[in-house]
Amino acid sequence: MAAEPRGFDVIIVGAGSVGSPAALSLAEAGLKVLVVDAFASPGQGANKAAIGGVRATHSDAAKIRLCLKSLEVFSTWKERYGDDVEWHQGGYCFVAYRDKDEATLKGLLKVQKAHGLDIRWLGAEELLKTVPDLRPDGLIGGTFSPGDGSVSSMLATHASYRQAKRLGAQFRFEERVVQVLAEGGRVRGVRTDKGTYLAPVVINAAGPQAREVARMAGTDVPVAPDSHEAGVTEPVARFLGPMVVDIRPAEGSANYYFYQHRTGQIIFCITPSPAIVGIDRRETSEFLPMISRRMLGIMPKLKNIKVRRTWRGLYPMTPDGSPLVGRCRELEGFILAAGMCGQGLMLGPGLGGLLRRLVTDRLEPEDKQTLDLLSPYRAFAGVERLK
């Protein structure tokens, strides 16, 4: 005789940068939570390729709010939970070597400050006091947000997983969702390749697989993964405070960014141009020469540091560079938390709190505006300026 399906309050599809902190937040609210993931352990999808940056320096009000909350969570994690997630508050620095970039960065300050971000414009002389090793030739200045920082993506996600389990959340690994169960226009649960689980709420936090899971619920979402390449050097004595971001385009890349992790390594990444759409995660021979030229062009001091390895990860992208978060109109009880555009790590804790309030019907006035901005049914008319 087949076993009876097990019931939960909430089922989350995906145990990565969004699913694991969401499970923790929902478990802290006293809900019976199940997380289902196709991989063997938490954070084994897009999360483990994340370089660890956590910033509230965005051009979108919803992402600023969510990431300010994430920064609060990460910066107090060790005191609250006891886990070391390698939090380092070095800040973020967006540099300007062109008049166009100066205008862009200065133009965003009003909305950033209006939503509580501690950020300011620094002229070249003052910026060089903050990041002394920047190439001074042609430097106009840049923005500096001292509250931003970095964590270990793997340690952070595993810490969320461990704390969620401590509160009773259940995780089923190496189980692939094959069907979203529905009856009478509302969700009933999921069927995996190993079992059936029931719940009145299902959250799609499946990262690059989010579109596939959404289609099982009778809807479609504009999430298309593309791949970004990154690398890490040997550890060296600390000399660099903030993450440095150069938004100038160049051949093969739309921008690039790098920082010194708390443990001493320089971690770096580019946004490829044109986008490399698909799920190919094989690293390339072109990446390291391309980014080396860019990095040495802005910080010559890096020239003698040895690169340890490179890798590629997937960014689940949306048309405007912002996530899709909210209830699905096509199926009651089905909630989207998808299309993080490579920023799931920095959005995860803040988003976990929002999902808790959404599921428990305790939305705050500010949450409603955030959900409107991130609605899966928005027009996608704008674009995140600091993707």
The model's pLDDT over 156-197, given as tens digits with 9 standing for 90+, comes to 999 999 999 999 999 999 999 999 999 999 999 999 999 999
Dihedral sign computed on CA atoms, order 366, 12, 318, 312: positive
Tell whether the model's pLDDT for residue 81 goes beyond 70: yes
Cα separations in angstroms, 230 against 44, 88, 292: 17, 19, 11
Share of the chain above pLDDT 90, in %: 93
Residues 6+ apart with CB under 8 A from 219: 328, 329, 330, 331, 334
Share of the chain above pLDDT 70, in %: 98
Measure the CA–CA gap between 318 and 172, rounded to whole angstroms. Answer: 28
**CB contact at 8 A, 190 and 13:** yes
**CB contact at 8 A, 135 and 300:** yes
Q: What is the pTM of this model?
A: 0.95
Bond from prior residue into 274 cis (ω within 30 degrees of 0): yes
The mean pLDDT of the chain is 95
Return the pLDDT at 386: 77
Taking residue 167's Cβ as centre, other Cβ atoms within 10 Å add up to 16
**CB contact at 8 A, 36 and 13:** yes
Measure the CA–CA gap between 328 and 375, rounded to whole angstroms. Answer: 9
Q: Which of 153, 149, 143 is nearest to 54 (CA)?
A: 149
- Which residues on adjacent β-strands are paired with residue 250? 253
Report the alpha-carbon angle 124-125-131, nearest 5: 80
Domains, in order of start, for the chain:
6-52+154-223+320-373 (3.50.50.60), 88-149+224-316 (3.30.9.10)
Measure the CA–CA gap between 109 and 111, rounded to whole angstroms. Answer: 6
Return the pLDDT at 277: 93
Return the pLDDT at 381: 82
User: Mind listing the pLDDT tens digit for each residue in 226-254?
Assistant: 999 999 999 999 999 999 999 999 999 99
Strand ranges across the sheet with 92-96 = 120-123, 141-145, 92-96, 243-246, 252-260, 265-273, 224-235, 307-317
Return the pLDDT at 4: 52
User: Mind listing the pLDDT tens digit for each residue in 35-45?
Assistant: 999 999 999 99
Residues 6+ apart with CB under 8 A from 364: 357
Return the pLDDT at 1: 35
